[in-house]
Structure 1
Amino acid sequence: MALFTDLKISRNLEKALADLGFENTTPIQEQAFPMVMSGSDVVGIAQTGTGKTFAYLLPILNSLPFAKEIHPRVVILVPTRELVVQVVEETEKLAKYAAIRVLGVYGGTSMLRQKEALAQGTDVLVATPARLYDLILTKAVQLKSVKKLVIDEVDVMLDLGFRFQLVNIFELLPQKRQNIMFSATMTDDIEAFITDFFVGVQKISIAVSGTPLENITQYAYAAPNFYTKVNLLVNVLQDEETYHKVLVFVSSKRSADLLFKELAEFFSEEICIIHSNKTQNYRLRSIKQFDEGKNRILVTTDVMARGLDLQEISHVINFDTPAYPENYMHRIGRTGRAEKEGTSILIYTPNEEEYKKSIETLMSQKIKELQLPTEVEVATKLTFDEQPKHKERENPLNINEEERGASFHEKADKNKKQNQGGSYKRIIQKKYSKPKTRGDKNFGKRKNK
């Protein structure tokens, strides 16, 4: 593990890092710094919580000279509004002693104010793809001065369907630029994306996505249904000393709202929630209150929590088992940071057991199974998705006579179709004694003359 001072960074960055209390680099930061500084196109693969943001910010800010240009020289694209806010804050911390201007733009807020801010000039522009493209179309921002493009959380970008906006933005960027991409996984979609748009990309991979973090203790509980999971959570979360900062992952916004409603009856002042249907101010306030310890339980979906720098999390609870095992690794990487101990709990139903097995296959290890505490009630109440659905009796083509209902009637003889076979000519021949053909229309007239 190297020191930041070993990277030959500027004095301004050294002072900023000292103020933050950072001395040692993470592996991704150590390996990315010289590669990004060389000007090569780079894709970095590293798990959540390994310092990816500083891995690209440090070399970019280290080589960014002072300028008075209006238009941005560095564009950083991220998938969510929360990540825009976070990356802007991290950039401002590192640029504390440098004359570098940074601005964040995202949807859900006034575009007019963002246009006014852009008119003042910026060096580093952090944006969501959709809002950046809207601002480009209104000519509020030009990309002609961009020297470096960063795409953070590439896998989430593609999962959320941002490929269209990314391609359109690529067409407006200068051909001569450095491309820097970071992701928690290297999927086939990312490989295809890189092959389609970039040439000679250098790859850095730190810990494959299936490698479990050694300082995270993992447990699993089997539960028959949603409300039994709720009863288990209510039981364990009453231990405030042990579960002092808990991140609860669910697979959908609907599940998040339903779980929040159930838990709020017991932990009303201690719980908060974020997902994409919540307003921007609500989401930012929830994240801030959780990060500051005002709320000890945060319910969230994968996309909303992706990339967020949440500190001191004691437990990650997988209320829903993710269908993609890589997402499990992203989730549990929220705890056990900075060489501290962390705990992950996975709660799965019989329908989710295959997902659990896929996770264990990816990690090449079993998750320790615990029995439900005897005081946890096994619920009989089911969610709408869990309730058995009424299925209509199949209606095959050949139905036995005894299976026909009382309302069944035979067709009238005149409505029965008969397949007589043969051709159109045969029917015409029967009617006219010889085939009627489309010959010379004047044949009969010439014959009568």
Structure 2
Amino acid sequence: MADDGILLNLQLPTSTKQVAVSNSQNLPKGKWTQRLKAKRAALRTVKRQNKTTDNTIDEASKPKRNSRGSNSNGIYVERIRNLKRSSEGGGAGDVGDSYSPANAGSSRLFSSNGQSSTNKSQVISSLFTSSYPISEPTAAPAEVLAEHDPSNAPLVDDTSFKGVGINSTLAHFVQTKLHFEHPTAIQLTAIPPFIATNPRDLFIQAQTGSGKTLAYVLPIIHSLMSCPDKLSRDSGLFAIIIAPTRELANQIYSVLETLVGCCHYIVPGIVIGGERKKSEKARLRKGVNILVSTPGRLADHLDNTEALHLSAVRWVVLDEGDRMTELGFQETITKILSRLERSSRIRTHPIRGLPNRRVTVLCSATLREDVEKLGEQSLSNALHINAGNSTDGDVEPKTGESAEGEVSDNAFSAPDQLHQEFIVVPMKLRMVSLMASVINIIKENPNARIMIFLSCSDSVNFHFSMFTRESDEAAPDSDDEDIKPKGSEEKTSLPSQVLKTYLKLSSPIVHKLHGSLNQPVRKATLAAFAKVASSASVLLCTDVASRGLDLPAISHVIEFDPPFAKEDHLHRVGRTARAGNSGWSTIFVLPGKEEGYVTDVLTPLHKSALVKRECSAVLSSAFGGKLVWQDQATNAQLNVERWILQSETTLQQAKSAFTNHVRAYTTHLSSERDYFSFRELHLGHLAKSFGLRETPTTLGRQNMAAGDDSKKRRGHDQGPDYAKKRMIKAAQMHANVGADEFNLG
């Protein structure tokens, strides 16, 4: 009480904000902007002075935490330590080792200028919350899978290649060197009309893995071997085989190289994008009898290589016709066929035993409207052939119909012996569920060969780096110069140290393949993955590896990202269960509408219903079983998140993968857009599946990887027509030039 009897009721400021307000009388007069700047400067000064006081935490105010280091709200709080290691050493600790509720609202790690902000706490959302309740897996009885006879296996009767008319020397070579005792159904049906005296144009339709390549390669070599005139490389070019992708072209050329071992005077050749044109021109000048090519590179040589003469061509094969149309090669094919038509009018010395006219063969696993249009442009009076059926009429059969007008079972389906399953995975759990699936497969089969399909090349790069990183060692300091993430493009394969932690076995070899890699790396990757190794192998890839490739002994296909069309799904799963062998495939879908996609779209493509597996069962089997699997899955997720935050390069790689995955998600066909709605994506949870603790602020401008054509990609929202044209252009560049594209590989 003062002397004058007045009671003083004063309260000292207890926070920095109150101090700043109490000092408001010292602010300069004038414009409000000047007063605001002065007030903020005073606030910063007080904060520096009271830093120790402001950071003091009352132990009694801490919320209760469970065994996994999370509070009652399912939020993990972890202090992100200074990326530059101190002299005492040490990296990011376990969950909650530096809990700071005072700063629980702070979640930004990098400031606007890209520099890391240190000594801040970051909110980390939990994998297992009430939003996505995951219960303990129940011990349900094992489901008996329906077994079906293989639909693409070689015949088991007395039919042989010699019996269908193939040259005895060539048939014996196929039996001894390729170990094919009997032809498949499509080979039995296609070879006789192909080697007839006056063959017609052919449309060959069959399931993936049924032997379409030998169905047209064997008749061509048989006809050349049967010529009375002696042939050599100087005799001319007799056959052209056009494939949509470089990988498929290389595979066809490899088959040709093997088969001509019984007739060395027949010379095959190959010209594809990504190779040196000078070397290809020299090869053409020396002379080839059978040429394998991609459409763009062949059209380029037709315009610029004088040594390429087409007057003697008697066979033109268009392999994977549906893929040709998807990539927008119709105009290029029309140009090539027109050039061949003009060249055929030039009189040359005829080769006895060869057809008098050019025979065109179109091969496709599907028979869509655009494929029929391509057939109308390239075929004349064609014979439609599928396994067990052929048509003799001049009228082109409609989609899915045989000559008699009945629906063909082979028109559009997966191999009967394929075991297909789907896993409904909440968005947050996608990353750990992928790890768990790979771990479970390798546990059951230590020599498993797994293909994992992702939506874009940036996602392939990120997951490759994640799988091949050192799991127990910290990443380099962000201040180090010339940091290169693990999995840089000069490395085609590395062992997975992350999976070894849970497998307790020799680590599997991980490969990656997409269209942004240069041609030598793509070729080396396929060669390395095709080798049958003593340990498990994993190939992370885009749809560039989905068509036509005959990779040996693929035991399992994982569609981590759903296909962009049901045709893509058939080709993806067609990498396994080939030539009568068994195979497994798994597709990841999100809860809700994507489950309807499995029921409405995918189930009709399979003879057996798709088997649903619980996400909890997959995680429990991989991460330690009952009671501990949630902890182990959380630790695996947090290890990836810490690894990403230890390097700015890795962080940008994760952001680019997230950004381009979102873009790819919007490119699903309009007929399937109801199942894949971009508006219903929870971008924060999706970022979690890429190891990001917060969603990138801009989808597609600041977070693009170096070298990407970001300006062109910003036009994605300009309508479906724009997107379609851009996709076709990117795919054409991929198939012939090797440019970077975000969707088709």
What is the Cα deviation at residue 133 of structure 1? 1.0
- Does residue 291 (structure 1) correspond to residue 530 (structure 2)? The answer is yes
| Matches of 2:519 and 2:587, distance apart in 1 | 29
> Which residue, out of 113, 126, 139, partners 2:292?
126
> Which residue, out of 567, 574, 578, partners 1:333?
574
Match of 1:121, as an amino acid? G
What is the Cα deviation at residue 241 of structure 1? 4.6
1:382-435: per-residue Cα shift (whole Å, max 9, x none)? 9443516999xxxxxxxxxxxxxxxxxxxxxxxxxxxxxxxxxxxxxxxxxxxx
CA contact (8 A) 2:241 2:318 kept: yes
What is the Cα deviation at residue 106 of structure 1? 0.5
1:17-57: per-residue Cα shift (whole Å, max 9, x none)? 12221111011111010121121100111121111100001
CA contact (8 A) 2:414 2:605 kept: no
- Does residue 142 (structure 1) correspond to residue 309 (structure 2)? The answer is yes
| Matches of 1:290 and 1:339, distance apart in 2 | 21
Match of 2:614, as an amino acid? Q
Aligned 1:390-429 pairs, distance under 5 A: none
1:258-306: per-residue Cα shift (whole Å, max 9, x none)? 3323333362561111111011111111111111135600011223331
1:40-95: per-residue Cα shift (whole Å, max 9, x none)? 10011112111110000111111123424354110000011112211111012112
Q: 1:250 aligns to what?
A: 454
| Matches of 1:106 and 1:196, distance apart in 2 | 24
> Which residue, out of 47, 52, 56, partners 2:216?
56
- Does residue 278 (structure 1) correspond to residue 445 (structure 2)? The answer is no
- Does residue 31 (structure 1) correspond to residue 189 (structure 2)? The answer is yes
- Does residue 309 (structure 1) correspond to residue 547 (structure 2)? The answer is no
Runs of 4+ residues over 6 Å off in structure 1:
378-382, 388-391
> Any gaps of 5 or more consecutive residues in structure 1?
392-449
| SS in structure 2 of the partner of residue 173 of structure 1 | helix
> Which residue, out of 78, 92, 100, partners 2:266?
100
Aligned 1:422-441 pairs, distance under 5 A: none
Q: 1:84 aligns to what?
A: 249
| SS in structure 1 of the partner of residue 190 of structure 2 | helix
More divergent stretch after superposition (53-62 vs 137-146) = 137-146
Q: Would the alpha carbon gap of residues 212 and 136 (structure 1) be closer, same or farther in structure 2, given more than 3 Å must change?
A: closer
What is the Cα deviation at residue 370 of structure 1? 0.6
| Matches of 1:305 and 1:213, distance apart in 2 | 15
Q: 2:418 aligns to what?
A: 216
CA contact (8 A) 1:216 1:343 kept: yes
Match of 1:346, as an amino acid? I
| SS in structure 2 of the partner of residue 312 of structure 1 | coil
> Which residue, out of 162, 166, 185, partners 2:333?
166
| SS in structure 1 of the partner of residue 163 of structure 2 | helix
1:177-207: per-residue Cα shift (whole Å, max 9, x none)? 1001111111100111212332211111235
| SS in structure 2 of the partner of residue 4 of structure 1 | coil
> Which residue, out of 219, 227, 231, partners 1:67?
231
- Tell me how many residue pairs correspond in the alignment: 390
| SS in structure 1 of the partner of residue 552 of structure 2 | coil
| Matches of 2:334 and 2:565, distance apart in 1 | 26
Match of 1:51, as an amino acid? G
| Matches of 1:27 and 1:285, distance apart in 2 | 33
More divergent stretch after superposition (113-122 vs 350-359) = 350-359
CA contact (8 A) 1:209 1:329 kept: no
What is the Cα deviation at residue 230 of structure 1? 2.2
Match of 2:538, as an amino acid? I
Q: 1:355 aligns to what?
A: 597
| SS in structure 2 of the partner of residue 345 of structure 1 | strand
Q: CA RMSD in A?
A: 2.4
- Does residue 236 (structure 1) correspond to residue 437 (structure 2)? The answer is yes
What is the Cα deviation at residue 209 of structure 1? 4.9
| Matches of 2:318 and 2:598, distance apart in 1 | 31
Question: TM-score with structure 2 length normalisation?
Answer: 0.50
| Matches of 2:338 and 2:581, distance apart in 1 | 44
Q: 1:416 aligns to what?
A: none
CA contact (8 A) 2:556 2:576 kept: yes
Match of 2:189, as an amino acid? Q
1:126-162: per-residue Cα shift (whole Å, max 9, x none)? 0011111111111241211111100101111111111
Q: Would the alpha carbon gap of residues 231 and 67 (structure 1) be closer, same or farther in structure 2, given more than 3 Å must change?
A: same
| Matches of 2:586 and 2:242, distance apart in 1 | 32
Q: Would the alpha carbon gap of residues 212 and 150 (structure 1) be closer, same or farther in structure 2, given more than 3 Å must change?
A: closer
CA contact (8 A) 2:213 2:252 kept: yes
More divergent stretch after superposition (197-206 vs 82-91) = 197-206
What is the Cα deviation at residue 365 of structure 1? 4.7
> Which residue, out of 362, 366, 374, partners 1:181?
362
Match of 1:223, as an amino acid? V
What is the Cα deviation at residue 103 of structure 1? 0.3
Match of 1:100, as an amino acid? I
Q: 1:387 aligns to what?
A: 683
Match of 1:235, as an amino acid? A
CA contact (8 A) 1:291 1:310 kept: yes
CA contact (8 A) 1:324 1:355 kept: no
More divergent stretch after superposition (369-378 vs 174-183) = 369-378
| SS in structure 2 of the partner of residue 132 of structure 1 | helix
What is the Cα deviation at residue 318 of structure 1? 1.0
- Does residue 344 (structure 1) correspond to residue 585 (structure 2)? The answer is yes
Q: 1:431 aligns to what?
A: none
Question: TM-score with structure 1 length normalisation?
Answer: 0.81
CA contact (8 A) 1:156 1:303 kept: no
| SS in structure 2 of the partner of residue 150 of structure 1 | strand
